[in-house]
Copies of this chain bind each other. A is one copy, B any other.
Amino acid sequence: MPSVQTIGSRSRRFDAMDKACGRERFASDEYPEGMLWAGALRAGVPHGVIRGMDTARAKAMPGVVAVLTAEDVPGENRQGFIHWDMPVLCGDKVRHAGDAVALVVAETREVLSEALASIILDIESLPVVDGLDAALAPDAPRVHDLETGNILKEATLRKGDACEALTHCAVIVEETFFTPQQAHCFLETENGTARMDEDGTLHMTVSTQAPFRDRFEIGRALGLPPNRLHLTAPYLGGGFGGKDGATVQCLLALAAMHAGGRPVKMWWSREESLLAGYKRHAARMHFRLGAEADGTLTALVCDLDYDTGAYAHLGVEIMALGLEHASGPYRVEHLEANGRCVYTNNPVAGAFRGFGVAQVCFAFEGVMDRLAAKLDMDPLELRAKNALRPGDRNGVGVGMISSTGMKECLAGLRGHPFWQSRDQWVREAPPLTRRGVGIAAVHNGMGYGRGLADSAVAKVRLTEEGRFRVYNSVSDMGQGNSPTFVQMACEILQQDESLMELVQPDTERSHPSGSSSAGRTTYTYGNALIKACEAMRDKLLHRAAMVLMVDDASVLELVPGAVRHAVTGQELPLAALVGMLHPDDRFCIGEAMMPVTQDVPEGGEAFRLGFPHLIFPYAAHLARVEVDELTGNVSVSDYVAFTDGGRVLNPQNFEQQVQGAVAQGLGYALWEDCFAEGGRLLTTDLSNYVIPGAGDLPDIESHAVETEEQSGPFGMKGIGEVGMNGPLPAVASALLRMGLPMTRAPFTPERILAAFDGDNS
C-alpha cells in the first residue's frame, strides 16, 4: 500500500504560498538590468490605406533607440500559426483600429510614449465593415483581397437529411441568437522581455500559452530560425485563450533585434490590451429544431456566422467547434449546420475559453427551452430524455466511447434543493422583482481534435540533492495544471511535495508539448508525465538494486527521499543514489498523445485540423435569477454546477476551475461586450468594459460527477472550458421562464427593459 496518496485529496496547491506571498515571478515582473522599453503605434483608424508616416521627430528624440516600420520587418511580416494574414507592422493597409504600424524602442516608458505620440501617420480611411451584416452585404468593401468577399471560410456539416426531417417533425422551434465580442481581461496584460545574444539567439520571457509554438510563429513572421528562439513562459496572470498565439512576441522580438543586445520589455496597458488583444468571436446563430411529440429531438438546421474581426487567427477552427457542438450534448438524428467565418474591421477575434462553443450553447439551450415550453415539458426532463449516453453518437456522428456523464450531471441538478424548490422560490419573490430558475446542459470537446497531434513530452529529473524536478512544458495560466503535475509525480514517485521542484516551460529545458489550451493541458502533459515518472521509478528501483546488490527490484520501493528495501527496511537515500548515476541517467522523458475519433460527418473534411473531437467533459448548471422590474437589472442570486470532468485529482482545484469559469460566463451573460461603433471600440478600459467583481457574483456551488476517463491521467478530463458554457444559457433559461425570451447577450438592464416592452432583439 503506497504511503503517499495525493490524487483525489483536497491538498494545498504546490504553488499557493509563492503566489500568495508574491514570491512567484510572472513575465511582467521581469525588469532586467539595462532594459529598454518597446511599444507600438496603433492605427487608430479601423480601415484605411497608409499614405505616409513621418518618424523623423521620433527618431531624433533623445532616448529613442529605434523607430521601426514594416520595411524593417525581415521575414514574411505575417503573424498566425494556422492562417497567417496579420502583419507584425502594417505597411500599406490597416484593417482595425488596433493594427500596429510602427514600433519604437526607447530608454524609458516616458520617452517611448512621447516618441509614439510624435509619429505623424497619414491614413486614408476606407469604408468600415463594422459587423456581419456589413461584411456580407453584396457590395461590401473587402477587408482582405479575397475572391470570396469577406468570407474567410464557409462550411456545412451534415448528418442525415435535417431539412427533410424537419418537415416530418411534430413540433419545430426557431430563433436567432446573438453573442458579443468578449475580452479576456486577464489580470496580467500581454507582455514580455527579450534580448538578442551576440550569436543571434533571441531569449524571450513572455506571458504566453504556447512558448514552443511561438518559436515558429515568430520565426516565420521575422525570418528567424525557430531553433534560435529561446522562450520561457513563467506562470501567467490569466490567459483564457487570449495568449494563445503571438501577442507581444513578434513586435518584441523585432525590437530586440534592434536593441544592440540590450534587453527590451513590452507591456501592453489595459487600454492597448482591449484595443489590440484578441477577443471572443461575436456570433449570430439561427436555429431551427424539430422534435417528436414526446420531445425526442429529430432534426436541427442552423446557420452560424462568426465575426473573426480583421484577421483570421483561429476563426476557422472556432467556427468548426461551433458547428460540431451546435446540437449540444444531445442525440439528434439529423443535423445540418452551416457556418461562415467572416472578416470585419472589428478587433481581431481568437481563442477564448469555450472556443466557439460558448456561443452555440446559448442558441441550442435557447431552442431547447423554447421546445420545452411549446411541448409543456419540464425543461430538465426534456434535456435528460435526449442527453447523450455512453455508446450514443453525438450530433456530428462521433461515437461516445469515452466517459459520458451528461445524464448524471442532470440527475444531480434534478435532486438539488434549488431545483426541487424552484416554484416556491419564484413565488416568494419580493415586490417589483421577478424570479426564475434556469438550467443549461453543456459539453465541450477536449483537445486539438482530429488531424493534429495532441501530444506532450514530459521530463522529470532526480536532482543532485536527491529531489525531483518536474519540467512542465505547458504554461500554467493559473488553472493549476503545474501543481497538479507535482501531485501526479508525488503519487507515482511516492514523494512529499517538499521534495519536489517545478520548472515552468522553457524551450531550452523542457520539451515541446503544445499549447495550454483546449482543456488538454493537464490531460495530455499529465499522461506524458505519468510515463516519465513511471520510467523514473523503475529506473531508480533498478539502479538501487544494482547498488544494494539486490537481485529482485520488486522488493524495493520508493519512499520520500530514499529507496527502501521493503523487507529489511534498509534505505538508500536518493541524494546518494544520484551521485552514482551518469548525468544522462538522471532524468526520464515520457510522451503521450490524445486519442482521436475516426467518425467524421459529411462536410467535416472542410476542417483539416482540429475536427471532430472524441472526448467531452459535460456540465449541468442551474441559476437562480432575479430581475429588478424598475431598473431592468439582472442578478444571479445562486448558482450550481454539476460537472463531469472524469476523476477529480484535487477537489479544491476542480472547484476553483468551475467557479472561475462560471464567473467569466456570468460576465458574458450579463455585462461584457466589446462595444464598437464604426469599428471604433467604445469600451476602452475597465471603467466601461465591465467584468464582474466578487460582489457581483453569487456563491457558486460546484459538484463533481465523477466518471472514469480510461484514457486520461488517473482518469481525468480537462474542465477548463465547459464551465464557461453554462451561465449564458442558464441565465437566459431563467429569464425565458420569467417571460423574457432574450436572444441577444449580454442581458443588460437596457435590453431587459426593452424586453419588458416586448423587444428582444
Q: Which residues of chain B come closer than 8 Å to A448, judged between CB atoms?
A: 551
Partner of A591, one of B449, B539, B579: B539
| Residue interface mask A511-552, B partner, CB < 8 A = 1 | 110100000000000000000000000110011011011111
Binds B, one of A148-156, A313-321, A364-372, A453-461: A453-461
Q: Which residues of chain B come closer than 8 Å to A452, judged between CB atoms?
A: 549, 551
| B453 and A546 contacting across the interface, CB-CB below 8 Å | yes
| B551 and A589 contacting across the interface, CB-CB below 8 Å | no
| A512 and B584 contacting across the interface, CB-CB below 8 Å | no
| A596 and B551 contacting across the interface, CB-CB below 8 Å | yes
Which A566-587 residues sit within 8 Å CB-CB of chain B?
Answer: 579-580, 582, 584-585, 587
Q: Check A227/B579 contact, CB under 8 A, given A539-B591, A593-B542.
A: yes
Separation of A543 and B512 alpha carbons in the complex (Å): 9
Q: Which residues of chain B come closer than 8 Å to A548, judged between CB atoms?
A: 453
| B593 and A553 contacting across the interface, CB-CB below 8 Å | yes
Partner of A596, one of B552, B582, B591, B595: B552
Nearest B-chain residue to A212, judged by Cβ = B546
Cβ of A443 within 8 Å of any chain B Cβ, yes or no, is no
| Residue interface mask A600-643, B partner, CB < 8 A = 1 | 00000000010000000000000000000000000000000000
Q: What's the nearest-Cβ distance from chain B to residue A545, in Å?
A: 4
Q: Check A453/B593 contact, CB under 8 A, given A459-B584, A579-B227, A585-B511.
A: no
| A545 and B453 contacting across the interface, CB-CB below 8 Å | yes
Q: What's the nearest-Cβ distance from chain B to residue A730, in Å?
A: 33
Q: What's the nearest-Cβ distance from chain B to residue A219, in Å?
A: 13
Q: Which residues of chain B come closer than 8 Å to A589, judged between CB atoms?
A: 539, 584-585
Q: Which residues of chain B come closer than 8 Å to A32, judged between CB atoms?
A: none
Q: Which residues of chain B come closer than 8 Å to A449, judged between CB atoms?
A: 551
Separation of A538 and B593 alpha carbons in the complex (Å): 11
| B539 and A451 contacting across the interface, CB-CB below 8 Å | no
Q: Which residues of chain B come closer than 8 Å to A59, judged between CB atoms?
A: none
Nearest B-chain residue to A461, judged by Cβ = B584
Separation of A453 and B455 alpha carbons in the complex (Å): 36
Cβ of A47 within 8 Å of any chain B Cβ, yes or no, is no
Q: Which residues of chain B come closer than 8 Å to A593, judged between CB atoms?
A: 542, 545, 551-553
Cβ of A450 within 8 Å of any chain B Cβ, yes or no, is yes
Q: What's the nearest-Cβ distance from chain B to residue A196, in Å?
A: 21
Q: Which residues of chain B come closer than 8 Å to A514, judged between CB atoms?
A: 546
Partner of A546, one of B512, B546, B552: B512
A-B contact pairs, 13 of them (CB 8 A): A451-B549, A452-B549, A452-B551, A453-B545, A453-B548, A455-B546, A457-B542, A457-B543, A508-B582, A511-B584, A542-B591, A543-B591, A552-B596
| The 5 nearest A-B residue pairs measured at CB | A551-B596, A453-B545, A542-B591, A453-B546, A455-B546
Q: Which residues of A contact B (CB under 8 A)?
A: 227, 448-455, 457, 459, 508, 511-512, 514, 538-539, 542-543, 545-546, 548-553, 579-580, 582, 584-585, 587, 589, 591, 593, 595-596, 609
